[in-house]
Structure 1
């Protein structure tokens, strides 16, 4: 028996859709009844049956006022095709039912700033796609490109990087960089600091999943007022680096959303001002990724980026 339940036209494509109409018409003996059971217009059933007949150059049905019935050639052809058709139907049903990966969106975070923007984005996505599960993990900076190419992650959010040709990239937001310094340091007397203020300061930069916010080459190449901070790459995570700041061993950097929500004993946050004081966050994904959830997340991010005032994240530090 042909199921009376509507079949997804989008999933099956034109050929399977036309076969669906043919077998429904054959079962019910009426184009009108087939259309009613499939919940489409009668003209749609008729049009697709005719298109298949034209493709085959064969008349499948005889038509009269009582309905439709298979021609001799049509019966022979449908007998051959039926097994393949029903097998394809079952294969599509099994795939849709069992493909749990299609209902999971894997998001990688690599030294990501802009936490408030990302939180709002995830909240909106969950509301608009409640049937999609989210798997959110940190990923080391040196691994994210391979992880995206191999589909271990569907999308990765990371700081601004040099040109990446292996996947699609798009910037969605910027936020000001904040400096974390020991509480007793003279620079705590200033409301904002510049790279010139940080000349001769040791800047602690974690590696791995928690840093750095800024590209290594950009950090090492910053020259402000004739001096520059000494960049020390730390084989440690953010927690250890922060502990070293508390001990007075140097400064470190973080995004504004982190700085505004996390108070750390024996330290002080100050916004960075001037050139190279903003951290741009991009999303990276494969255009060939078949998951609709990826495009849905990207669409929401674009809408949010367009709606947010251009200075909301990048310049609110001036008012601190």
Structure 2
């Protein structure tokens, strides 16, 4: 039982000897004495009842059986090492809540949510980053983020998803365009226009996956994926090269020269803001944030029903 309990240490010495081809070099790499390496390698061979190494004056090398066994076991060993590192990192990271934002437009709702959370739980640090649409679910599964806010990620089976907010879509139009004189615009008004979508980042401007399924074929603008981020998209709109989309809270708080924000009217003029997280996440902070979001969603009037006029 004791030898089995020391198996990971035996493996560390054996892999170091195999990689270095020398007990002395393995000892140097592990910062132990050479006799310790030799002794633990022998113990592993005795435990397995197998000769792993051939030894001579030039050093050590794996036997044929030893190479086959270590090649197989190394995969599991490295997996265990990663699991231990992840556990140690999670322990250090327990007081940090990692939040991912993917083309979210509900800036006002999220701002209030984050402000209230910080006031309620000042001991929890928040790390907030953008995440690309295609990376969201994998980032949640791998716990790179504890929770992600995004408009829509399609069918989700690997984690929990819940809608908290809906927000009206606004269109950014060049100031000289004929639509700039209208109070509101519809999808039919945008048919055939160049819809500029940021390809390099997922900022407040809505990206193409967020639009799938909400625009009918007969009223669909032509999607133009722009290399770069939202700054490039905004600049191209200013130059009259196309239009862009954003949520109402972003549009009402960001004035852009040589452009006009217009609210989208008619069917499919709203997009949803959802949260995605793992039920198995051990951090209490995740579920405290979810609980606070649910409470806010039930008490704060949604801007989705506002009928504000356009503004420049």
Common topology (TM > 0.5)? yes
Q: Which one of 195, 201, 207 corresponds to residue 193 of structure 2? A: 201
Structure 1 pair 231–220 and aligned structure 2 pair: CA distance change class (3 A): farther
TM-score if structure 2 supplies the norm length? Answer: 0.67
Structure 1 pair 217–126 and aligned structure 2 pair: CA distance change class (3 A): closer
Q: Which residue of 1 aligns with 2:57?
A: none
1:134, 1:319 → 2: CA distance? 35
* Alignment check: 8 A CA contact 1:204 1:231 kept: yes
Partner deviation per Cα, 1:72-114 (whole Å, 9 max, x = no partner): xxxxxxxxxxxxxxxxxxxxxxx99x93311110001111110
SS in 1 for 2:289: helix
CA apart distance, 1:228: 2.6
RMSD of aligned C-alpha atoms? 2.2
Q: Which one of 238, 252, 267 corresponds to residue 260 of structure 1? A: 252
1:282 aligns with 2:282: no
Choose 1 or 2 for highest CA Rg: 1
Structure 1 pair 317–100 and aligned structure 2 pair: CA distance change class (3 A): farther
Structure 1 pair 193–302 and aligned structure 2 pair: CA distance change class (3 A): same
1:214, 1:171 → 2: CA distance? 18
Q: Which residue of 1 aligns with 2:10?
A: none
2:225, 2:204 → 1: CA distance? 10
TM-score if structure 1 supplies the norm length? Answer: 0.65
1:233, 1:221 → 2: CA distance? 18
Q: Which one of 206, 227, 232 corresponds to residue 235 of structure 1? A: 227
Structure 1 pair 272–313 and aligned structure 2 pair: CA distance change class (3 A): same
1:140, 1:199 → 2: CA distance? 27
1:142, 1:211 → 2: CA distance? 16
Segments of structure 1 that go 5 or more residues without pairing to the other structure are: 1-94
2:95, 2:283 → 1: CA distance? 8
CA apart distance, 1:141: 1.3
Q: Which one of 261, 276, 280 corresponds to residue 269 of structure 1? A: 261
Partner deviation per Cα, 1:163-205 (whole Å, 9 max, x = no partner): 1111100000011010001001010111110001111211111
Q: Which one of 127, 138, 153 corresponds to residue 135 of structure 1? A: 127
